[in-house]
Structure 1
Amino acid sequence: MKQANGHQVVQLLEQFSPKSLAMEGDPIGLQTGALNQKVSKVMTTLDVTNEVVEEAIEKGANFIIAHHPLIFRPLKSINLETNAGQIIEKCIKNDITVYAAHTNLDVARGGVNDMLAKALGLKDTKVLVQTYEDTYKKLIAFVPESHASEVREAITAAGAGDIGDYSACTFTTTGTGRFLPGDQAEPFIGEKGKVEEVNEVKVESIYLASLEKQVLKALKSSHPYEEPAYDLFEESIPGDSYGLGRIGKLNEQTTLGEFSEYVKKQLNVPALRVTGNPDKKIKKAAVLGGMGSKYYQTAKFAGADVYITGDVDFHTAQDAEAAGISIIDPGHHVEEIMKSGLACELRLRAEADGLNIEFLPSEQSTEPFRFI
């Protein structure tokens, strides 16, 4: 197992929750510290509080991944008499790096909203509020016949050629490649100053735009030429949809009252708020972690009988009830499901990459409310 640094921790996170998925203006990424320091233990948390930092110190974790950014609004100064200033000071003095994965982790497949949907047993889930579509592109590469198989294997291993339930999809045609190596060239085939003709194949494959960097890297590393020739084209084929919230079917029809009790148990909350008739039949539910009250109409139009989200205000609850969709508000803090879910996901990815990192979900509750 290899020793890791902060950059490698971020790379693991970026594999399934890239920054590109975040909502515009969301202050994700590095909050305090440095990414070049060695990391052996990473703590995952919903919020960064004094108690969470103390826990990290006690357990020897020098890297914290938080869902809610420690620095959400720009700071004009770091006042050590304020709570935020004291947390930042404690992190710096103890060499603890803090990194935030907020709306990118909400949107990501396998992220917060998928974790919540899974906990609630929703089936055949779809994105509730689309924020991003990963479009398809086509790669056409010109390769000498002797290296065609090697290039095909490399680009498909990087993700090219995945179409529905099929993978490694490519198309090949043969032809003749011609080129003139210049004085400074180091040609794999041919001589400087002499036009060369080579039997080549044209390898075609499609890929999701988000994979372009790794697909091109695979092409260039497997291609024998000093300057590989290739073309990239936009495709009109719909790509993968990403966004906030999930909507899906319940395992079986139930009532609003029974489902509310189920939500309470599954999300481990002492109480929740509900609108609507407890005897109302529920077949389909939508869930959006955090504060998602403004999307109740989206949930209604998508066919949801009930919408689970936090921080619902009085008038929105009234409007939703009048619109015929019930609301279950278990609070904002149910997003803490990400602590264990993210730690588990990163642990598996670190093991696959041979990195010696321990991932620890914080045991501290950052729920500010008490129910009496």
Structure 2
Amino acid sequence: MTRTLRDVNDVIERLWPLTGAEDWDAPGLLVGDPEQPVEHVLLAVDAVRATIDEVLARPAGLLLVHHPLLMRGVTTVAEDRYKGALIARLIRGGAALVAAHTNADVVRDGTSDVLAQRLGLHDVTPIVPAADGSTGLGRVGELAEPQSLGDIARSLAGILPATATGVRASGDGEQPVRRIAVCGGAGDSLLSHPAVRAADLYVTADLRHHPASEAREQALLGDGPALIDVSHWASEWLWLDAAAAALVEALPGLDVSVSELRTDPWDFVVTQEVARPVG
């Protein structure tokens, strides 16, 4: 069934309202004529050459991504710059581009909510609640039974799509974990939040050296969680299946699929044996 871009985007904005986006964010309709036809929707985390080629393989496509292509200001869309080149390819190919970013982070079945579900957490609440108390940034909840930090790290390695950087952990691999805070995507801004400090473990992505080091030292004083750092792309890729299911339910008959392409920017890693000092 063919629908217009306006039809599909109206549903997208109902499922992931733009009012939920952070002030600095730039989600929404990025490329396309609202009246152009949409016969299939492809979901991906990133609008890059590979995912745009994928949506252009068939006519009348819409690429729904998590990360806005134009989140930061640009002064040119010349085709010798990658953003200009990608936008031109979309327009010439008759495909549209829509982003659902922080507005898809805060909702039920959003990026952090899905990560919490996959970890098997219950009694889940937002780390930073919105006015309704049930939506908001990040999630915190409990496992049915305590598990070791090492077991949880290994579970995440199986839950998340494989990436070169894998899963990194800070803490004793045998320490018991029951209460877990999660934030899909970059989450070191929440390291000092009371709900994160009160958890046994914080799972997020893009942890920088200084915030992670400071959180680790604080945890040694008994005031803070162990840390697990995963790929930014992988932590948000899990959301795509939930988003696709929501679109299919709202738009019966529309062809909706999830890209299996890995758009994590890292291609390989060289590991080194870590030997802790004795004593």
Task: For 1:36 and 1:274, locate their aligned partners in 2 and report how far apart those are by CA, in whole Å.
Answer: 48
Q: Decide whether the 8 Å contact of 2:127 with 2:195 is kept in 1.
A: no
Alpha-carbon distance change, 55 to 277 in structure 1, aligned in 2, over 3 angstroms: same
Task: Summarize the alignment of residues 33-112 of structure 1 with structure 2, pairs less than 5 Å apart.
Answer: 33-60=32-59, 62-112=61-111
Question: Structure 1 CA distance, aligned partners of 2:194 and 2:231?
Answer: 18
Give the residue type in structure 1 aligned to 2:206: D
Matched, 1:311 2:206: yes
Question: Structure with the greater relative contact order (CA < 8 A, sep ≥ 6): 1 or 2?
Answer: 1
Residue 199 (structure 2) pairs with residue 298 (structure 1): no
> Given that residues 299 and 307 in structure 1 are in contact (C-alpha distance below 8 angstroms), is that contact kept between their aligned partners in structure 2?
no
CA deviations over 1:155-176 (Å, ceiling 9, x no partner)? xxxxxxxxxxxxxxxxxxxxxx
Residue 32 (str. 1) matches residue 34 (str. 2):
no
**Contact 2:122/2:141 (CA < 8 Å) preserved in 1?**
yes
2:274 matched to which residue of 1?
none
1:254 equivalent in alignment to 2:147: yes
- Provide the aligned length of Structure 1 versus Structure 2: 261
Give a deviation string over 1:276-308, Cα, whole Å, max 9, x none. Answer: 111111011011011101211226556210000
Partner secondary structure for residue 249 of structure 2: helix
Answer yes or no: is 1:366 the counterpart of 2:263: yes
Q: CA deviation at 1:31?
A: 0.9
SS at match of 1:20: helix
User: Could you tell me how far 1:57 is from its partner in structure 2?
Assistant: 1.4
Shift of 1:41: 0.4
CA distance in structure 1 between the partners assigned to 2:227 and 2:126 by the alignment:
18
Alignment match, 2:167? 272
**Structure 1: 5+ residue runs without aligned partners?**
134-238
- The one-letter amino acid of 2:42's match is M
**How has the CA–CA distance of structure 1 residues 350 and 299 changed in structure 2, closer, same or farther, with 3 Å as cutoff?**
farther
The letter of the residue matching 1:329 is D
The DSSP-based 3-state class of the residue aligned with 1:308 is: strand
Distance 1:272 1:278 in 2: 13
* Partner Cα distance (1:277, 1:240) in 2: 34
Q: Which residue of 1 aligns with 2:124?
A: 125
Q: How far, CA to CA, are the matches of 2:45 and 2:76 in structure 1?
A: 24
**Which residue of structure 2 aligns with residue 327 of structure 1?**
227
TM-score, with structure 2 as normaliser: 0.89
Q: How many angstroms apart in 2 are the aligned matches of 1:92 and 1:268?
A: 31
Compared CA separation, residues 259 and 299, structure 1 to 2 (3 A) = farther
In structure 1, the residue corresponding to 2:228 is in which secondary structure? strand
**Secondary structure at the counterpart of residue 108 of structure 2:** coil
**Displacement after TM superposition at 1:315 (Å):** 1.3
CA distance in 2, matches of 1:124, 1:371: 38
Q: CA deviation at 1:71?
A: 0.9
* Superposed CA offset, 1:135-178 (max 9, x none): xxxxxxxxxxxxxxxxxxxxxxxxxxxxxxxxxxxxxxxxxxxx
User: Which whole-Å deviations, capped at 9, do the CAs of 1:301-351 have from their partners, x for residues lacking one?
Assistant: 562100001110111111111222111001211211122221111111112
Task: Report the AA paired with residue 262 of structure 1.
Answer: S
Q: Are the structure 2 counterparts of residues 40 and 269 from structure 1 closer, same or farther at C-alpha, using a change threshold of 3 Å?
A: same
Structure 1 Cα separation of the partners of residues 264 and 156 of structure 2: 18
Q: Specify the alignment match of 2:14 in structure 1.
A: 15
SS in 1 for 2:51: helix
Give per-residue Cα distances to partners, 1:175-199, cap 9 Å, x unaligned.
xxxxxxxxxxxxxxxxxxxxxxxxx
Shift of 1:36: 1.4
Aligned with residue 285 of structure 1, among 180, 195, 199: 180
Q: Confirm or deny: 8 A CA contact 2:20 2:106 kept in the other structure.
A: yes
CA contact (8 A) 1:16 1:109 kept: no
Tell me how large the CA RMSD over aligned residues is. Answer: 1.6
d(CA) in 2 for partners of 1:255 and 1:128? 22
Task: Trace 1:77-226 onto structure 2 (pairs within 5 A).
Answer: 77-130=76-129, 132-133=130-131
**1:357 paired residue among 238, 254, 277:** 254
Query: Is this contact kept in 2: 1:19–1:104, CA < 8 A?
Result: yes
- In structure 2, the CA distance between the partners of 1:358 and 1:301, relative to structure 1 (3 Å rule), is closer
More strand by share: 1
Distance 1:260 1:364 in 2: 23
> Structure 1 residue 92: deviation in Å?
0.6
Q: 2-side partners of 1:111 and 1:300: how far apart?
A: 19
Per the alignment, do residues 58 and 299 of structure 1 end up closer, same or farther by CA in structure 2, a change over 3 Å counting? farther
Task: Look up the equivalent residue of 1:30 and give its one-letter code.
Answer: L
Compared CA separation, residues 290 and 269, structure 1 to 2 (3 A): same
What SS class does the counterpart of residue 340 from structure 1 fall into? helix
Residue 358 of structure 1: how far off its partner (Å): 0.8
**8 Å contact kept, 1:119–1:267:** no
SS at match of 1:297: coil
Which stretch of structure 1 is more off in the superposition, 112-121 or 262-271? Answer: 262-271
